[in-house]
Amino acid sequence: MNRIKLLFFAAIRDRAGAKSIEMDIPSDMTILQLKEKLGADYPNLKESMKSVLVAVNREYAFDEAVVPSNAEIALFPPVSGGQ
């Protein structure tokens, strides 16, 4: 198993009801599988996981990336702005 720390930001933090959590995941889990697990374990997050931006150890990561050991995963809602 792989212990990771999840950090939630903005609306995702509100939906999660926490600013961070730690969890154990399989050592070969991808970002996509992690998002699916979060949506299943935390129903309030399910809709957010469809468009969330993910950073692993402060670098953006894509769905196919494998989560490294002891990673810090930040989850951000998509950002929009301007006019």
Element (H, E) at 37: helix 31-41
Dump pLDDT digits (tens) for 26-46.
999 999 999 999 999 999 999
When pLDDT is averaged across residues 11-21 and rounded to a whole number, the result is 95
Whether 56 is covered by a domain: the verdict is yes
Residue 18 pLDDT: 95
Whether 33 is covered by a domain: the verdict is yes
Whether 42 is covered by a domain: the verdict is yes
Whether 53 is covered by a domain: the verdict is yes
Give the count of domains, the chain: 1
Whether 82 is covered by a domain: the verdict is no
Whether 81 is covered by a domain: the verdict is no
| CATH number for the domain harbouring residue 55 | 3.10.20.30
The residue segments making up the domain with residue 18 are 2-76
Cα 4 to the center of its chain, rounded Å: 10
| CB atoms near residue 83 (< 10 Å) | 2
